[in-house]
Amino acid sequence: MMAPVMLTLTNDAQSNLERYLRRVKAALRGYPSVDADEVERDIRGHIEAELADSPAPITAPRLGNVLERLGSPNQWVPFDELPAWRKVLVRLSAGPEDWRLAYATFALLVTGLLLGPLGPVLILASVPVARATLALLDERDEPVGARRWLVYPSLVAAYFVIALVLFFLPVAPVAAAADPSVRAGLLAWLPAPFWLSYSSLVALVAGIWWTTLGLLLTRFRHAVIYVFWPFADRFDRRHGMRVAYAGLTVATIAGIVLAAVARG
């Protein structure tokens, strides 16, 4: 596999480059005749060769000239070669001012909220439709504008649930001590006062998990940007490290308190 772009870019240029490369992959995804990953690597190589002699750091306007010559990725392959599902999506959002997909997203969400047992299925379905809407607008380099009020609610709801699960799921088994049988076991093991030692234990587990999670987030930065797209475009190592430091602080304080309680 070819190495990632090794140029030194300003933050704005880096952000524009990553956005462009995402557009490349999104535009070419699903074409049976084209390997989207291969083309993305070729485009990286092209940009690197074009800017090899430019003084560092490469600025956004300098990079913009190269991207301008490369052109919009959704014009690289003819519409006829699009896979059927993408043709449907493109046709649904055919006009430059078209709102159909955005309305479809909102309709799925609202119907999902109103319907009983089938509701979650429709709410879940609204998420890929919302992302497809944004991806198509992104491909066309068209601003989301007021359509955000129709599209973002589905994404905010889904991402909120994902974030909750990410941050609190590993803590849940410890927090389940509200259950009488678990509580009885813990009471026998934890030093008194129970409320203090128990809350310190929960905080310790949470702190250790957040430290681990923060480090994982710095390692898998692109996964975070992809999962929480388009809200996490500016996510970088610093944000992950902040989560890790917060976790470390919580774990340390909880550990000290727990040790103090144990000593009596």
Partner 1 sequence: MDVNDNWTTQLRKGVLELCILNVVGRARVYGYDIVKQLRDVDALVVREGTIYPILSRLRRDGLVHTTLEESPEGPARKYYEMTERGEQLLAEMNAYWDGLTRGIDGLRRETR
Kindly list the residues in this chain that would bind partner 1 in the complex (CB under 8 A): 2-3, 6, 24, 28, 31, 33-35, 38-39, 41-43, 45-46, 48-50, 52, 69-73, 75-78
Contact (CB, 8 A) for 133 and 148: no
Query: CB-wise, 23 or 147, nearer to partner 1?
Result: 23
Exposure string over 179-216, b if 16+ CB within 10 A, otherwise e: eeeeeeebeeebeeeeeebbebbebbbbbbbbbebbbe
- Judged by beta carbon, residue 69 or residue 234, the one nearer partner 1 is 69
Smallest gap from Cβ 2 to partner 1, in A, equals: 6
CB of 29 to partner 1, least distance (A): 12
Measure CA of the first residue to CA of the last residue in the chain; give whole Å. 58
Name which of 53 and 97 has its Cβ closer to partner 1: 53
The least CB distance from residue 221 to partner 1, in Å, is 20
Distance of CA 251 to the CA centre of its chain: 26
- Indicate the residue among 50 and 138 with the shorter CB distance to partner 1: 50
| Residue among 28 and 224 whose Cβ is closer to partner 1 | 28
CA distances from 1 to 46, 204, 262 (A): 15, 41, 53
Do 44 and 2 form a contact (C-beta atoms < 8 A)? yes
CB of 44 to partner 1, least distance (A): 9
Q: Which of 21, 22, 28, 34 is nearest to 66 (CA)?
A: 21
- Least CB distance to partner 1 at residue 31 (A): 7
Q: CB 66 → partner 1: shortest distance, Å?
A: 9
Of 35 and 179, nearer to partner 1 (C-beta) is 35
Token pair recorded at residue 66: 């190269």
Dist CA 102 CA 114 (whole Å): 19
